[in-house]
Structure 1
Amino acid sequence: MIVCHCNTISDHEIRAAVDWMRAADPDTLITPGKVYRALGKRPDCGGCLPLFLDTMRGCDSLGVPMQLRGLRRAATQGNGHEGRQESHRISQ
Structure 2
Amino acid sequence: MIVCHCQNITDRDINNAIDWMRASDARTVITAGKVYRALGKAADCGGCMPLFLSTMRGNGNFSVPVLTTTLCQAKPNKETGS
Shorter-chain TM-score: what band? Answer: 0.7 to 0.9
| Matching residue's letter, 2:24 | A
| Number of residue pairs the alignment of both structures matches | 74
TM-score (normalised: structure 1) = 0.75
| Matching residue's letter, 2:14 | I
The aligned residue for residue 31 of structure 2 is: 31
| Matching residue's letter, 2:31 | T
Aligned mates of 2:55, 2:61 — CA distance in 1: 12
Across the aligned residues of Structure 1 and Structure 2, the Cα RMSD in angstroms comes to 1.5
How much does 1:69 deviate? 1.3
- Bigger Rg, which one: 1
Aligned mates of 1:68, 1:51 — CA distance in 2: 26
Could you list the runs of 5+ residues in structure 1 that have no partner in the other structure? 78-92
Could you list the runs of 5+ residues in structure 2 that have no partner in the other structure? 75-82
How much does 1:70 deviate? 5.1
| Matching residue's letter, 1:5 | H
Write 1 or 2 for the structure with the bigger share of helix. 1
